[in-house]
Amino acid sequence: SQQGEEDPQALSIQEGENATMNCSYKTSINNLQWYRQNSGRGLVHLILIRSNEREKHSGRLRVTLDTSKKSSSLLITASRAADTASYFCATDAQLETGANNLFFGTGTRLTVIP
Amino acid sequence: DSGVTQTPKHLITATGQRVTLRCSPRSGDLSVYWYQQSLDQGLQFLIQYYNGEERAKGNILERFSAQQFPDLHSELNLSSLELGDSALYFCASSVVPSTNSPLHFGNGTRLTVT
């Protein structure tokens, strides 16, 4: 499978704390994306980091990428109750047809306690 | 609001039946993707279309088929349904079929097979 795998599977923190989620993948990538999914809703794109980038910021989000270790991390600073959701990493991989596509991990379920 | 519309939101049907899920992509997006999300399998890529043509296939069963129409909306047909087909089915769209741009997801169709 080309999927990324998130770690931990579940994370529970107090409001105001930082949350860190990790993603590991198997093959070389062109880019890696992070998505958020609120319960029962569609996924929402958060950030894209390219293989030649090491770190990227967007508001309270910080993403790092280590291609030598085939891993990425998502840091949410000063968490809020509204950050409660599942977070997925998605990596691009080549199918047998030669087309590239996004493959998602199984997600980290984040609960932020008010 | 992602701009991607999926209907119906919920579908309950019996084993052996056939259903059709519909997706209208975001305005201007030419590429449509179908994903299946179940509790034990995470988010699985099924199939991708671009401007009416099938572009990539993932873990899509032979009992499942899809198409993208000239107006760019897409339908996913599931036949000879089994209990294990119960899942959330998501449609996503993007401007072009590139993994270098984010996917915009609909809120999904929850299929329950009894």
- The SS3 of residue A28 is coil
Structure tokens at A82: 């509204």
* DSSP 8-state symbol, B2: -
What is the structure's pLDDT at B41? 67
Chain A contact for B27 (CB, 8 A cutoff): no
Chain B contact for A10 (CB, 8 A cutoff): no
Chain A contact for B4 (CB, 8 A cutoff): yes
Please name the residues in contact with A43: beta carbons below 8 A apart, sequence gap of 6 or more. Answer: A35, A36, A37, A88, A104, B43, B90, B92, B103, B105
Q: Which residues of A touch B97 (CB under 8 A)?
A: 99
By the 10 Å C-beta count (0-12 exposed, 13-18 middle, 19+ buried), B13 is classed as middle
Q: Which residues of B touch A36 (CB under 8 A)?
A: none
Q: Are A95 and B100 in contact (CB < 8 Å)?
A: no
* Least confident span in A5-14, A56-65, B14-23, B40-49: B40-49
The residue ranges of DSSP E strands in chain A, in sequence order, are: 5-7, 10-14, 19-24, 31-37, 43-50, 55-58, 61-66, 71-76, 85-94, 100-104, 108-113
- The SS3 of residue B83 is helix
Q: Which amino acid is at B102?
A: P
Q: Are B45 and A48 in contact (CB < 8 Å)?
A: no
Residue A3 CA to residue A114 CA, distance in Å, equals 33
pLDDT digits (tens, 9 = 90+) for A36-54: 999 889 999 999 999 999 9
Distance (Å) from the alpha carbon of A41 to chain B's nearest alpha carbon: 5
Nearest CB to A30 within list B4, B99, B105: B99
Q: Which residues of A touch B87 (CB under 8 A)?
A: none
pLDDT higher than 60, residue A2:
no
Confidence bin at A3 (pLDDT 50/70/90): low
Asked if A78 and A60 count as a contact pair (C-beta separation under 8 A), the reply is yes
pLDDT in tens, chain B (114 residues): 889 999 999 999 999 999 999 999 999 999 999 999 987 667 899 999 999 999 988 889 999 999 999 999 999 999 999 999 999 999 999 998 778 889 999 999 999 999
